[in-house]
Structure 1
Amino acid sequence: MILKKLKSNSSVSLILVPLVTLAFWLKSLQHPFAYDYFPGEQENILFSFLYRLVDGKPLIQVISGIVLAILLAYLMQLVNDRYMFIRIKSKLPALLFAVIVGGFVPMHTLHPVYFGAIFMLFAIYRLFAVYETKKAYSSTFDVGFLLGVGALFYFNLIVILPAFFIAIALLGRETGWREYVTMLLGFLLPFAFASAYTVLSNHFIGTVTILSENIFTSVNHFRSNIPLQVYLATLIVFTITGSIGMFKQYDTKKVSSRKYFTVFFWIFLFSLASFTFIPVTSQEMLVITSIPVTYLIANLFVFMKSRFWSELLFIILLLIVVSMQFSFDLF
């Protein structure tokens, strides 16, 4: 009965989002910590300005992370409510995202990836407006610009850019070269402004060094992290199950829904590829990967016919996320 109530279109589910987020971040509030950044990670061009305000204040960093996670959850719900790719009205995506991110305990503090994810969701919101639109130059420029701003917070967001080029080809109507060029120009514009600022402030060389560190520094938070490995294995099982459910529904879904979910697939694929091809990518990218995964699993729960299995799977997910709050003390 838990899932039946939560996957309804009632506003109660939205009220639960901050409560659930706070519940899963409670231990971090009791024992606040700053993220273990590698050299240069907190010096991303836009993030560095904000980080200086909270440096040495772990409690403020944890509270900031909570606020950003809640905002992300609501933005995810906004995107689904606007474009209705999960055709049954439900507030589950927001709540499910809060649950999934609740399991990433090492990420329960401030990190630039949260800002990157927020701008990526705004970019997705504008991207979906391209569907069946001729000469969508304004939308494609906005998509590129938002991704560019997000990359100035979290530089590795740039790995998602090819997925958005593919998405324009999937969604656009009579798409030509101009849509791709306007998106690329939009993406480069924030970097042009940032470059001009670093040149005028005599920080250009230092900024280039920081960006290179954000690509080539070898980081691996997964090695010997047994709790996180177990949790990721669980999410993989849910993702595979959701994918199977999606394939079964594929012919019955509207064309727009198929294309939107295909876009999420490409975002998911490129986020996974970053773990393999970019040395610096580690657990923080899971926040980005969780966005398409959340929509997929939410679609699974919403359309699952067996109430018993849907309730059981949801309870299992909740129990695993709860156990993650204590597992790091044991390992």
Structure 2
Amino acid sequence: MINLFRIYNPFNVIWLALVLLVMRLGYIIKAPDHLDFIFVEPFTRTLVPVAYENYFSPSANILLAAVLVFAQALLLNYLINFYNLLGKPSFLPGLMFVVASSLFTPFLILSPPLICNFLILWMLFKLFGLYKTNDAKSTAYDLGMMVAVGSLIYLPFIYLILIVWIALLLFRPFDIRDWMASLFGYVTVFFFLAVYYYLNNRLSTFYTIWLPLGTRFPNSIHINQYSYLILVPVAVIFILCFFKVRQVFYKSYVQVRKSYQLLLLLFIISALAFYVKAEFRLSHFLLCAVPTAVFFAYYFLYATKRWFYEILFLLLVSSIIYFQFNTF
């Protein structure tokens, strides 16, 4: 399976769709009777004058989520090959994104983090392009607006403004105007939201939007103990990937090295931002799927022992499917 996606072949799109279906088959068969879909944060709910929460049946919800993941996988694959982050073209980034987006059953349904992954991909297109940009102010402004729009959909997305600033440090000489442009972009979106609040006599409650940012970091996270078993092959692949990256890190182009540093920080910041939501949901970690897919793709592209990496991948896929049929 891995060797098939190591080759950049357009027919791999068909195989990718088949893998996507297989990875979701267990949940489609055993779909719950009801699935909630919250598209935006409560403070922007009135901006969407459509009762969408119960519009989709469980099966439609899962299938539409699969279509979105498929589109994101193709976009990610194009992004990684366009910037040549792996050194050679392949379909592994798309494959690994499909797998990473199927780890837990909450990943398989429509959710705000799933929608926000489109914004993450759009941001990465612009962030990686900063390295060869002569004037980054307009790009920084656009990136600030993207983070703001993502915050309207899913408030923890607000912390991705840190990724914008880190990218400006990594890819650009320091210029305070670039940083200010990103802030102006962010403020622009919330300025119009404040105007909307004012016109609806709700301006006095505008400050409540930011209250979750003061939430204390939790002392513990309650997750089904069997869910940790799926993370065993994930952890093994991560460890092997970092060893593989370290071997050739300083032999890579400067832009590639900085891009991997940015992806690692994106993974860390996205993961830690979960505490903003009072109600913890595993679906939050979908925000980590993009950098995870890139690191996984790097390992499987350069792994040398075929029997080992094929068995490791099979073990990962099998465990995901198994736990979809067995919820204990």
Alpha-carbon separation, structure 1, partners of 2:68 and 2:305: 34
Alpha-carbon separation, structure 2, partners of 1:47 and 1:250: 48
Which shows bigger deviation, 225-234 or 294-303? 225-234
The residue aligned with 1:61 is 61
Alpha-carbon separation, structure 2, partners of 1:217 and 1:276: 7
Q: Residue 210 of structure 1: CA displacement?
A: 5.9
Change (3 A) 1:80 1:280: same
The residue aligned with 2:266 is 267
Alpha-carbon separation, structure 1, partners of 2:81 and 2:209: 38
Q: Residue 181 of structure 1: CA displacement?
A: 1.0
Q: Deviations over 1:244-267 (max 9, x none)?
A: 111111122111111110100111
Which shows bigger deviation, 254-263 or 12-21? 12-21
What fraction of aligned residue pairs are identical, expressed as a percent? 22
Q: Deviations over 1:200-236 (max 9, x none)?
A: 2334456654664587499999524123222234322
Q: Residue 166 of structure 1: CA displacement?
A: 0.9
Change (3 A) 1:149 1:41: closer
CA contact (8 A) 1:13 1:95 kept: no
* Equivalence map 1:320-331=2 (5 Å): 320-328=319-327, 331=328
Alpha-carbon separation, structure 2, partners of 1:41 and 1:215: 20
> Given residue 237 of structure 2, which amino acid in structure 1 is its aligned partner?
F
Give the paired residue count.
Answer: 325
For normalisation by structure 1, the TM-score amounts to 0.87
The residue aligned with 2:23 is 24
Change (3 A) 1:280 1:187: farther
Alpha-carbon separation, structure 2, partners of 1:76 and 1:9: 14
The answer to whether 1:310 aligns with 2:309 is yes
The answer to whether 1:230 aligns with 2:229 is yes
Alpha-carbon separation, structure 2, partners of 1:47 and 1:298: 41
> Given residue 273 of structure 1, which amino acid in structure 2 is its aligned partner?
L
* Equivalence map 1:132-281=2 (5 Å): 132-172=132-172, 174-204=173-203, 209=208, 212=211, 216=215, 223-275=222-274, 280=279
The residue aligned with 1:92 is 92
Change (3 A) 1:21 1:297: same
SS of 1:53's equivalent?
coil
Higher RCO (Cα < 8 Å, 6 or more apart): 2
The residue aligned with 2:2 is 3
Alpha-carbon separation, structure 1, partners of 2:221 and 2:50: 25
Change (3 A) 1:205 1:70: farther
> Given residue 140 of structure 2, which amino acid in structure 1 is its aligned partner?
T
CA contact (8 A) 2:36 2:54 kept: no
Q: Residue 243 of structure 1: CA displacement?
A: 1.1
Alpha-carbon separation, structure 1, partners of 2:217 and 2:35: 20
The residue aligned with 2:80 is 80
Alpha-carbon separation, structure 2, partners of 1:211 and 1:51: 25
For normalisation by structure 2, the TM-score amounts to 0.88
> Given residue 136 of structure 1, which amino acid in structure 2 is its aligned partner?
A
CA contact (8 A) 1:145 1:187 kept: yes
Structure 2: give runs of 5+ residues left out of the alignment.
none
Alpha-carbon separation, structure 2, partners of 1:47 and 1:218: 29
Alpha-carbon separation, structure 2, partners of 1:70 and 1:214: 32
